Amino acid sequence: MKKKLILFLLMLFTAFCAPAWSKVYIDLAAPSQKALPVAVQEFRDLSTAPARDKAERETIKKELYDAITTDLRFSGFFSVIDKKANLEDPLKSGLTETSTDFRSWRAIGADALVKGGFTVEGNRLTVEVRFFDCVTERLVIGKKFSGSVKNPRRIIHYFSDTVYEELTGKKGVFTTKILFVSGSGGNKEIYAADYDGRNAVKLTRNRSINLAPQWSPDGRKMLYVSYKKGTPAMYSLDLVTGKDEAISARPGINIGGMYSPDGKKLALTLSTEKSPELFVLDLAAREYRKLTDNNGIDVSPTWSPDSGKIAYVSDTAGNPHIHVLELSTGKSKRVTFKGKYNSSPSWSPDGSKIAFARSDGGRFNIWTMRPDGEGLVQLTFDGDNRHPSWSPDGRYIVYSSSDKGGSLRIMSSDGTRVTKIDTGIRGEKAPAWSPFLK
């Protein structure tokens, strides 16, 4: 296996030195990838100005190290070697190939190495990060980023996205974010956090009940349901300007909103004389179009990536089941037939699967299926797991668990490599993963 890894790296660097270096080097469709041992050296403080706040710089150093090791592990491509095994002194070595003792890194089993340094000037943080091949003793990629001294992790996430894209040809999810609901403060408010749960920020502060957050396709706005004026209405919060406005506040309920892939329409559930039904709201014309008309309750719409279909939950058959509505014909097809309660469908970014939660009378678990209802796969088997949401690259699913009153977990799309996400908020529910953010 060692020879294969060395051959992989040699091929990698040969390709990197060639004129056309946009080739995909890691096959994301492969059934398994051997994790590459990578060492990470502590980041060096390269600031030339006097250290007016040594504690602040030590915190930055720890945050940078934690962020890069978290990203590397999460990718699934790397196993991070314990830093206690590192032999090279970060204070005596440099950040270049010529000033790096690669023999000492190979001695601890490292096939790859990450080094970095940072400078602080006022409120500005500049970070230089380099990724080396320890076998050929060459630089794979080196980048310099600048940002706020208050968020060093964000800078590292940009670097991790760069490395991921260079090695796979696909965008990484390290700079994406997750919305969620928590009632830990006494009211149900909505928060946003980095993909790894860090840097959680409260977005709503109306001391009411706020539910079901969803992202706009460009990631600039958040759609959510709020009872802040007494009855459930649909609101849109601009995450850039802070503008908060009612989008749908008709008499009765306005729930379950989801932007269409082009951001021009909303699918939602509204009250009718007969029962709650699905509607599509044209945001420009402010016109509603009714999609369902039955005696059941139709909720939780999710658009297919091509905007041609909507999956939703309906209890027209007695128990809640998932149906798929074809918008061009208006025909609806039931696609689940087992379980006493099927809920919260979420369409995968490539359109090939729908994730949903199912209960057979007790706790819920996460499943996936093809849009026609075939190919059912159960992904979770313990706890009470609900509200699946796909990462924008389709490799992962975030969901809420009943563990300790509520928490978030991320798993690979096949149900493996489950990671608990610690936001520091507690009671997290109803997550929604952002699109790729610019």
Residue 141 lies in a domain: yes
Same domain, 325 and 373: yes
Residue 115 lies in a domain: yes
Pairing of strands 78-80, 36-40: parallel
* Whole-number pLDDT of residue 31: 56
* Whole-number pLDDT of residue 28: 57
> How many angstroms separate the CA atoms of 166 and 170, rounded?
8
- Asked if residues 401 and 408 have their Cβ atoms less than 8 Å apart, the reply is yes
Q: Which of 149, 168, 187 is the last residue of a domain?
A: 168
Residue with token string 């009153």: 405
> How many angstroms separate the CA atoms of 218 and 224, rounded?
16
* Whole-number pLDDT of residue 328: 96
- On the question of pLDDT at 14 being above 50, the answer is no
**pLDDT higher at 254 or 438:** 254
Pairing of strands 124-133, 138-148: antiparallel
Tens digits of residue pLDDT in 281-327: 999 999 999 999 999 999 999 999 999 999 999 999 899 999 999 99
- Lookup: tokens for 170: 């696909």
Same domain, 294 and 319: yes
Same domain, 24 and 44: yes
* Whole-number pLDDT of residue 50: 65
What is the model's pTM? 0.91
Name which of 24-33, 137-146, 254-263, 274-283 the model is least confident about.
Answer: 24-33
Residue 205 has a CB neighbour count (10 Å cut-off) of: 11
Residue 337 lies in a domain: yes
> 127 is in which domain, residue-wise?
2-168
- Lookup: tokens for 43: 């980041």
Pairing of strands 36-40, 112-121: parallel
Q: Looking at residue 12, which CATH number applies to its domain? A: 3.40.50.10070
277-282: strand order across its sheet:
254-259, 265-270, 277-282, 287-290
> How many angstroms separate the CA atoms of 252 and 249, rounded?
8
Residue 346 lies in a domain: yes
User: pLDDT tier at 9 (50, 70, 90 boundaries)?
Assistant: very low
Nearest to 283 by CA among 241, 236, 326, 244: 236
> How many angstroms separate the CA atoms of 183 and 427, rounded?
6
Q: Looking at residue 260, which CATH number applies to its domain? A: 2.120.10.30
Q: Which of 168, 200, 231 is the last residue of a domain?
A: 168
What phi and psi values does residue 303 have, to the nearest 5 degrees?
A: -80, 145
Mean pLDDT, all residues of the chain: 91
* Whole-number pLDDT of residue 395: 96
- Lookup: tokens for 67: 């962020």
User: pLDDT tier at 122 (50, 70, 90 boundaries)?
Assistant: confident
What's the mean pLDDT in 16-30? 44
User: pLDDT tier at 79 (50, 70, 90 boundaries)?
Assistant: very high
Q: Which of 168, 187, 211 is the last residue of a domain?
A: 168
Residue 383 lies in a domain: yes
Residue 21 lies in a domain: yes
What's the mean pLDDT in 70-76? 95
- Lookup: tokens for 161: 């996205």
Residue 118 lies in a domain: yes
Same domain, 282 and 418: yes
Same domain, 123 and 256: no
How many domains in the chain? 2
* Whole-number pLDDT of residue 407: 92
- Lookup: tokens for 381: 């088997």
Same domain, 164 and 181: no
Same domain, 222 and 110: no
Same domain, 158 and 248: no
Same domain, 152 and 218: no
Residue 438 lies in a domain: no
Same domain, 71 and 191: no
What's the mean pLDDT in 185-204? 96
Tens digits of residue pLDDT in 206-230: 999 999 999 999 999 999 999 999 9
Tens digits of residue pLDDT in 156-172: 999 999 999 988 899 99
- Give the ranges where 169-234 is alpha helix by DSSP (H): none
Same domain, 54 and 155: yes
- On the question of pLDDT at 19 being above 50, the answer is no
What's the mean pLDDT in 66-70? 98
* Whole-number pLDDT of residue 8: 41
Same domain, 113 and 187: no
Name which of 90-94, 191-195, 252-256 the model is least confident about.
Answer: 90-94
